[in-house]
Structure 1
Amino acid sequence: MALRLPACLLFSTAIVAIASPLLAAGPGEMVADGGFSEGSDAFWASDGVTARRDDGRLCLTVPAGGEPWDRLAGMNGLRLTPGQSYRLGLSLSSRPAGPVTVRVQRDGEPYSAHADETIEAKPVASTVDKTFRAVERQPAQLLLQLGGQDLDRTVCIDDVSLTAAAPAGTVTTSTTASAVLVNQSGYFRDGPKRATIVSDAAEPLDFQLVDADGAVVAEGRTRPVGLDPNAGVAVHVADFSDAEVRGEGFRLTAGGATSETFPIGLATYGRLRVDALSWFTLQRSGIAIEPGFADPAYQRAAGHLGLSPNEGDTDVGCLDGAVARSLYGDWRCDYRLDVSGGWYDAGDHGKYVVTGALSVAQLMSAYERGIAHGGGASPVVSDTLGRLPENGNSVPDILDEARWELEFLLKMQVPDGAPLAGMVHHKVHDTAWTGLPMLPADDPKPRALHRPSTAATYGFAAAAAMGARLFADIDADFAGRLRQAALTAHAAAIANPGLNAPSSDGMQGGGDYSDDNAGDEAYWAATELFLTTGEAGFLEEAKRSPFWGSAVFAPQGAYDWANVAGFARLQLAAHGEQLPAADRRAVTASVVSAARAMIEVQDLDPFGQVYRPGADGYSWGSNHAMLQNMTVLAAAYDLTGQAGYLAAVREGMDYILGRNILGLSYITGYGAHYSQNQHSRWYARQLDDDLPPPPPGTLAGGPNGTLLDDVAKEKLQGCAPQACYIDDIMSWGTNEMAINWNAPLFAVASFLADAR
């Protein structure tokens, strides 16, 4: 909350120094004489605070009492650029020790803060080093709040520095981005075609669309937007949607800059659908990846089939010892399970039910959509769609791939007669982290099952019920197994409602995927069981859920593995023929309303994003969040037939495919510049030339405002929110790949390949 300081304290005549003239913002130093060695008096102190220079420091004698904001020191005259990142540094001591609040704020009402941090200052000087992003253009001040202590004290500061973290408009990237940012994989001939131009020009710019022969095929004027706080630069938008041309090699020129080449009217998404589905085959555990169905570069031995040096996954026991006690109390198990198969979750060798359930469900939902809206002609029904070993077995490839994961999920269920029978283990992974690179067959670490969880059990019940529905006419025996397992899991989850997955210290060889609220999974399970069985009891259970009538979609991400209620809502809307008419109208209206809100977000965004970052910037896996939002728009199109929703999905992909501040396609193999070093233990060419890069169709996680890994912390300090990404294999916080990220990529690509 912004602190409203009395004006008399900020503009008191009883200050000990006159503020220096306004200092211009820029990449250089903004604090005059921050080392207090040149005799410049840029700092002032409020009434009652005495300031003096002491051996290259500014020392402030502060009387006891009052509130923190009753005793102040500071420097006025700062001019900051909104969206620009700045780095504030200073050395600070207090004798006796006590808190000092350091603020960069507006120089006047309402004293809104750009940065605010309280430091416990001690007699021995410590260093403050803070990066922040300016939020407005008003004159600003650097302020120290010193009051509120029981004793008089002396606070000394030195080495005060304020600099732009990078010049305004500069972004850190592994590619050299053009100032004209486009969808590098191309536009639909009859769809929206927009580009973003980096320019601080106040007036519109002329732009031209030029074909491969250099002929101008369209031209117009840009729309100036001004500073975009997410990109950290001023931008324009060029709209060339009226250019219904077809071909390759187009470029857009504006303001003296030229875009990368791009096609118009070619079948990008049909190819992407194949690559995104085939990506899952390469993620398979427990099967050799062979040249017969994969590029020879991706050939590898089967991982985790119990062959040395692997210690899993054909005979895996439950986690025990001190770690198990700290995480799960007195839970133990005396059985061992064959949990081979399934998909490796991300860049590690772990397998997790909560992500696996949603991922396999999204693949199956793309198949179900193709059946409902493709008239039997969609390639999703083909058994030669992907690059799979099962090609030509008369089973649709999507269902072949889904079955590989469903068979694994079935193995994760606690057997009859054991404690917690019918529940589903949350995950299986190594007991300690392996390094990079590491092929799955070379993993030497022991494997362990982790305690079942309510969330995993409900999620499994939902995915299994869905699978039972789709396999009923293809393999009745398998469908029956899935149906019974789903019913058993559902009953077990009801009997064990509070078995949550906890957080660990992060050093236990796999991701936590902690979840302390299984209500959304319960809603999803009831939904899928109703859609599969038609039993009214499951509908009543879904309607008792707090998620039934609530808003379940957010512009920061419609749903994810930890919040699956949005996916359940889409399933009800798409396949709710059995719903009472009033319920179906309400469910449909909720999806359409959410889609309209997402279009409003997109219309205001100069990059065409279907996404609104949160207070901390872009979220972990932000690209996947955008794709999940696009699945809501796609559902609205299917429900209404209104072309605006289809257009919004088409434009939403622009950002993913290069129309972003980095000028980078986040899908490997697509565009002129694309991510190719995603965090993976075996797609690791960055570390070992003998290993392959990620395969075509791999989605990178994308910008993440929380700098989690060492690479991001070192190289992305002060990044504009949209630029908080680096294509480095060790940046797992911005550049991981994951099954639950590629699943919506496949779903959206499949929708765009088919929808007309």
Structure 2
Amino acid sequence: MTKVLSYIMGATIAFSAQSADIMVNQSGYLPAGDKFAYVLAEQASDVQLISVADGRVVAELERSGEVSLPDARKVTTVDFSQIKTPGWYQLETGSGQSVPFQIGDDTYLPINERLVHALYLQRSGMAVQDISTGMNRPESHMLDGQIFRADEFHKAGTQLDVIGGWYDAGDFGKYVATTTITVARLLEAYRQTPQLYSQTKLPGSNKPAIIDESIYALDWLLKMQREDGAVYRKVSGARWPAKIGPWQDNQTRFIYGVSTPETAKFAAAMAFAARIIKPYDADLSRQFLSAAIHAANYLSSQNEQYIDWKEGDDSGSGPYMKNKFDTEASLDTDVDDRLWAYAELYITTGQEKFKAAFQENYDPQWVDIFEWKNPAAMGVWHLILAEEKGEFRDQLVNDLALVADRYIQQAQQSPFRVANQRFIWGSNKMTAEAGILISWADFAQGRLDNRASVQSQIDYLLGANAFDMSFVTNSGTYSVRNLHHLYQIATGVSLPGYLVGGPNEMAQAGVAPKNMGMLSYVDSKKSYAVNEFAIDYNASLIGLIAVHHAYFNHY
């Protein structure tokens, strides 16, 4: 064992000797789905699939495709996709066993429900009483918030009502950038596979929980729109909060300046929401569309990216703009954000001016995974769904396929078949989004060719990784235990269904090992750079499970 691996293993949870060298998706597999496991042991012994019920050897399996980890350990793949009988199984080699795992039709329903419910647990501006977790916290941040810096509509210190919304992560900031993409990802998951969500409802509601959560966040977003249609960026205190519950954070909470990137993402999310929410609440749908058009009108008056930001705005919250860590070219412009807005506005309103604006500003360089840094891909995807056959649609399909091919190739060459190879802040979210993009390219071309690659991204996040650990709290035999989350640190209350950021080579907290690719991770509550949850992380895994489900249910 190398010194690096020894450090990583020592800093994380103590693993059973039985499970140290065979990694599986700890939530399990679908009977008709693709099934891969991974073996780290150096010896070349074959692998047996064992029925947990009776100890019977179900299959003798071979290992293939040796790939090296950053610390030079070898990873081989075991394919047992031919096993379709529901039940509980384990994989064994001469040196150990995997954790038990299930093959079943409803394998991903429990984790999907936890992932959605985690967003309920992140609600601000209301009391949260939750039997499943034991969370019982009073209402919090009921004075949000004050204008931080004067603008043409409000003096500094003006009190506005921006109560509500979700806490973005383990602290108490609320951001338009991540709320918009989280809502859109939830609504897209519901649009793609509504049957996954129809039975899960909050007490007293007739709507699916995923719709209720989306509406809760959308209501907050409406409050963040200024009189002229522009949208404020975020709400937070001027200092990072201590390790306390949100109701104990009594510092003044400020509303920080408007920006065109946030305004464009707001317009896109609202226009999309107007379509999805309409069957549940037509009046609310009209309100969302009106807000989207108001935001679009503001954008038409601003030809260049504009961000009302000054030194000190980020003293108690994340920047969510270009900074020393986030340097992508998409952050130098708001074109990618506008593209998403134009696409959604065109589809919802049918107005040709929005399609013309999309075509005028479109460049294939903006087609990549969907994230707050660059949300254009969802607009591309929705236009592909909405457009009739023709040159315009063909171009979008081709551009999407080219990006998907790059991720597929990366997955084929990677340990654990991971499509995303940028191990930076939020790499787990990027992995999920790469899987979604691959599926979109498949569906856009009317094919199902890369389902196995999509499955592998789910597998990696749920246990088939170098740590033999699910990156989602309370999901799997071994899962993240030491979440960086102020409420959990302060109270000890278990928070299930939280996807953490994952391996990050920069390791800004100074706890995880740096520059080790997918090994730059440690399960430590001190390591906020790898072990903090964020709402958009969960949303991406929800979306990944939804598109995977669509492969089996007529996408």
Tell me, yes or no, whether TM beats 0.5: yes
- 1:703 corresponds in structure 2 to 503
- 2:327 corresponds in structure 1 to none
- 2:329 corresponds in structure 1 to none
Q: CA deviation at 1:200?
A: 3.5
Aligned with residue 301 of structure 1, among 138, 154, 179: 138
CA distance in 2, matches of 1:537, 1:546: 14
Q: Is residue 22 of structure 2 the alignment partner of residue 180 of structure 1? A: yes
CA distance in 2, matches of 1:465, 1:602: 34
Change (3 A) 1:180 1:296: closer
Q: Is residue 514 of structure 2 the alignment partner of residue 677 of structure 1? A: no
Q: CA deviation at 1:736?
A: 0.7
CA distance in 1, matches of 2:407, 2:306: 35
CA distance in 1, matches of 2:400, 2:203: 37
Letter in 2 for 1:319: F
Once the two structures are superposed, what CA deviation does each residue of 1:288-344 show, in whole Å capped at 9, x if it has no partner? 1124xx426112111111xxxxxx21xx22114xxx9xxx99995574310011111
SS in 2 for 1:742: helix
- 1:119 corresponds in structure 2 to none
Aligned with residue 570 of structure 1, among 381, 394, 398: 381
CA distance in 1, matches of 2:93, 2:10: 20
- 2:182 corresponds in structure 1 to 359
Q: Is residue 124 of structure 2 the alignment partner of residue 319 of structure 1? A: no
Q: Is residue 341 of structure 2 the alignment partner of residue 528 of structure 1? A: no
- 2:328 corresponds in structure 1 to none
Aligned with residue 358 of structure 2, among 534, 542, 550: 542
Once the two structures are superposed, what CA deviation does each residue of 1:426-461 show, in whole Å capped at 9, x if it has no partner? 11111111111x222111111111110111111111
Tell me which protein shows more helix as a share of its residues.
2
Q: CA deviation at 1:543?
A: 0.6
CA distance in 1, matches of 2:61, 2:193: 38
Within-5 A mapping of 1:8-19: none
- 1:499 corresponds in structure 2 to 306
CA contact (8 A) 1:425 1:451 kept: yes
SS in 2 for 1:683: helix
CA contact (8 A) 2:426 2:502 kept: yes
- 1:260 corresponds in structure 2 to 99
CA distance in 2, matches of 1:683, 1:331: 37
Letter in 2 for 1:189: P
Q: Is residue 86 of structure 2 the alignment partner of residue 236 of structure 1? A: no
Letter in 2 for 1:520: D
Give % identity.
Answer: 30
Letter in 2 for 1:301: P
- 1:269 corresponds in structure 2 to 108
Q: CA deviation at 1:509?
A: 1.2
CA contact (8 A) 2:148 2:256 kept: yes
- 1:434 corresponds in structure 2 to 241
- 2:544 corresponds in structure 1 to 748
- 2:167 corresponds in structure 1 to 344
CA distance in 2, matches of 1:465, 1:366: 16
- 1:154 corresponds in structure 2 to none
CA contact (8 A) 1:531 1:576 kept: yes
Letter in 1 for 2:401: V
SS in 2 for 1:667: coil
Q: Is residue 251 of structure 2 the alignment partner of residue 448 of structure 1? A: no
Letter in 1 for 2:146: G
Q: CA deviation at 1:572?
A: 1.9
CA contact (8 A) 1:630 1:652 kept: yes
Tell me which protein shows more strand as a share of its residues.
1
TM-score scaled by length of structure 2: 0.90
SS in 2 for 1:297: coil
Change (3 A) 1:609 1:175: farther
Once the two structures are superposed, what CA deviation does each residue of 1:45-92 show, in whole Å capped at 9, x if it has no partner? xxxxxxxxxxxxxxxxxxxxxxxxxxxxxxxxxxxxxxx7xxxxxxxx
Change (3 A) 1:474 1:224: closer
Aligned with residue 586 of structure 1, among 383, 395, 402: 395
CA distance in 2, matches of 1:297, 1:166: 36
SS in 1 for 2:76: strand
Change (3 A) 1:717 1:677: closer
Q: CA deviation at 1:355?
A: 0.7
Q: CA deviation at 1:501?
A: 5.4
CA contact (8 A) 2:30 2:107 kept: no
SS in 2 for 1:253: strand
Larger Rg computed on CA atoms: 1
CA contact (8 A) 2:245 2:486 kept: yes
CA distance in 1, matches of 2:356, 2:114: 40
SS in 2 for 1:429: strand
SS in 2 for 1:242: coil
SS in 2 for 1:361: helix
Change (3 A) 1:507 1:472: closer
Q: Is residue 476 of structure 2 the alignment partner of residue 661 of structure 1? A: no
Q: CA deviation at 1:639?
A: 3.0
CA distance in 2, matches of 1:390, 1:754: 29
Q: Larger RCO: Structure 1 or Structure 2 (Cα < 8 Å, ≥ 6 residues apart)? A: 2
Q: CA deviation at 1:385?
A: 1.6
CA distance in 1, matches of 2:537, 2:271: 22
Once the two structures are superposed, what CA deviation does each residue of 1:182-210 show, in whole Å capped at 9, x if it has no partner? 11121222222222111334xx4311111
- 1:728 corresponds in structure 2 to 524
Once the two structures are superposed, what CA deviation does each residue of 1:659-684 show, in whole Å capped at 9, x if it has no partner? 11111100112211001322111123
Q: Is residue 367 of structure 2 the alignment partner of residue 552 of structure 1? A: yes
Q: CA deviation at 1:753?
A: 4.1
RMSD: 2.6
CA contact (8 A) 1:703 1:734 kept: yes
CA contact (8 A) 1:609 1:655 kept: yes
CA contact (8 A) 1:390 1:397 kept: no
Aligned with residue 335 of structure 2, among 489, 495, 519: 519
Q: Is residue 509 of structure 2 the alignment partner of residue 509 of structure 1? A: no
Aligned with residue 457 of structure 1, among 263, 267, 271: 263
Point out where structure 2 has 5 or more consecutive residues left out of the alignment.
323-331
Point out where structure 1 has 5 or more consecutive residues left out of the alignment.
1-26, 28-83, 85-163, 306-311, 372-377, 416-420
Q: CA deviation at 1:167?
A: 6.9
Q: CA deviation at 1:391?
A: 2.3
Once the two structures are superposed, what CA deviation does each residue of 1:469-498 show, in whole Å capped at 9, x if it has no partner? 223333222122211111111111232333
- 2:280 corresponds in structure 1 to 474
Q: CA deviation at 1:166?
A: 6.0
SS in 1 for 2:440: helix
Q: Is residue 448 of structure 2 the alignment partner of residue 643 of structure 1? A: yes
- 2:439 corresponds in structure 1 to 634
Letter in 2 for 1:256: S
**465-474 vs 359-368, which deviates more?**
465-474
CA distance in 1, matches of 2:520, 2:310: 26
- 1:694 corresponds in structure 2 to 495
Letter in 2 for 1:353: V
Change (3 A) 1:226 1:612: closer
Aligned with residue 406 of structure 1, among 212, 218, 230: 218
Q: CA deviation at 1:624?
A: 0.5
SS in 2 for 1:525: helix
TM-score scaled by length of structure 1: 0.67
